[in-house]
Amino acid sequence: MTNPSPWRATVLTLFPEMFPGPLGVSLAGRALASGLWQIEARDIRASATDRHRSVDDTPAGGGPGMVLRADVLAAAIDAAEIAPERPRLLMSPRGRPLTQARVTELAQGPGPLIVCGRFEGVDQRVIDGRGLEEISIGDYVLSGGEIAALALIDACVRLLPGVMGKEASGTEESFSDGLLEYPQYTRPQLFEGVPIPATLTSGDHAKVAAWRRAESEALTAARRPDLWEKAANRRSGQKSPKNKTDG
Ligand code: SAH
């Protein structure tokens, strides 16, 4: 590939051996091997300065666990020499929940720096001082930011030009229009006595599109009233709060 500066993820972690991990296989792995994107995992511990190479310390004010030290993490961020136009993210359960809209923005940019927390989290002063944008992948707590970073990178990489076999397969799926995807079927025509819905095998493209739309709407209304309300507001042209990261 003759791509001068492909999309690039720079990951700061205490466990660089976790990367590319699952992103080294299948769709993302083939794209990585062919140079459509790059990943650089940098060891936060390389920026530790004391004899024991310590990266964490007890929380000020007391309480359980340990906190990633501000000086060590800030030094690791500075050493990565991230170009100013690249987003600087911190995976964090306190962050704004990741959406397909934010993933699309990140995929269209040069690629982010991603800081992976561990222990009880990171010192607030480095979040503020280095302008880290906190991003969550859901309302549950992981033991570290690495799996969250892998999820974010995977969602971005599949949107990069040339990564997905068919360009179109990214545009007509869950969240792309604020709705969940319609049910999918393939052969065999009859499975455990259940046929594929007749409309889908009718060859009538307009009917198929209408069926899929109706199924998408019904699923979204039933499962995700939050998304359904936003979609309904958009349709009725009502003023909903403008939020760039809304799915
Ligand atoms: N004490 C913290 C949780 C720390 S979990 C709290 O209650 O908020 C350790 C690290 O795992 C975090 O610093 C973060 O980098 C990562 N992590 C955990 N859950 C996450 C989530 N839902 N989304 C993104 N990152 C998460």
CATH of 7-157, one of 3.50.30.10, 2.30.30.100, 3.40.1280.10, 3.40.50.720: 3.40.1280.10
The CA 223 to ligand 1 mean position distance, Å, reads 26
Read off the amino acid at residue 187: R
Per-residue pLDDT at 43: 98
Domain with CATH 3.40.1280.10 in the chain: 7-157
Per-residue pLDDT at 244: 46
In sequence order, the 6+-apart residues with CB closer than 8 A to the CB of 140 are 93
Q: What CA–CA distance (Å, rounded) separates 139 from 152? A: 15
CATH superfamily of the 177-239 domain = tRNA(m1g37)methyltransferase, domain 2 (1.10.1270.20)
Residues of the chain with pLDDT under 70: 1-3, 166-171, 238-247
Q: Point out the ligand 1 atom lying closest to the alpha carbon of residue 141.
A: 19
Per-residue pLDDT at 173: 81
Per-residue pLDDT at 234: 87
User: Which residue spans within the chain are E strands per DSSP?
Assistant: 7-13, 37-43, 56-57, 67-68, 88-97, 113-116, 133-136, 190-191, 194-195
Q: What CA–CA distance (Å, rounded) separates 39 from 22? A: 13
pLDDT tens digits along 188-208: 999 999 999 999 999 999 999
Q: Point out the ligand 1 atom lying closest to the alpha carbon of residue 119.
A: 9
The CA 122 to ligand 1 mean position distance, Å, reads 9
From 247, 233, 135, select the one nearest 181 (Cα to Cα): 247
**What are the two backbone dihedrals, phi and then psi, of residue 30, each rounded to the nearest 5 degrees?**
-65, -40
Domain with CATH 1.10.1270.20 in the chain: 177-239
Per-residue pLDDT at 161: 97
**Tokens 């690791």, residue located:** 76
Q: What CA–CA distance (Å, rounded) separates 39 from 80? A: 13
The CA 233 to ligand 1 mean position distance, Å, reads 33
Per-residue pLDDT at 202: 98
The CA 148 to ligand 1 mean position distance, Å, reads 9
Q: Could you tell which of 118, 142, 147 is best to mutate to test the pocket of ligand 1, judged by most ligand atoms within 8 Å of the CB?
A: 142
Note whether 70 and 78 are within 8 A (CB). no
Q: Which residues line ligand 1 (CB under 6 A)?
A: 91-94, 116-118, 120-121, 136-138, 140-142, 144-145, 148
Secondary structure (DSSP) of 68-118: E-HHHHHHHHHHT---TTS-EEEEEEEEEEP-HHHHHHHHHSS--EEEEP-
Q: Point out the ligand 1 atom lying closest to the alpha carbon of residue 140.
A: 22
Q: Could you tell which of 69, 91, 146 is best to mutate to test the pocket of ligand 1, judged by most ligand atoms within 8 Å of the CB?
A: 91
Per-residue pLDDT at 246: 46
The CA 64 to ligand 1 mean position distance, Å, reads 15
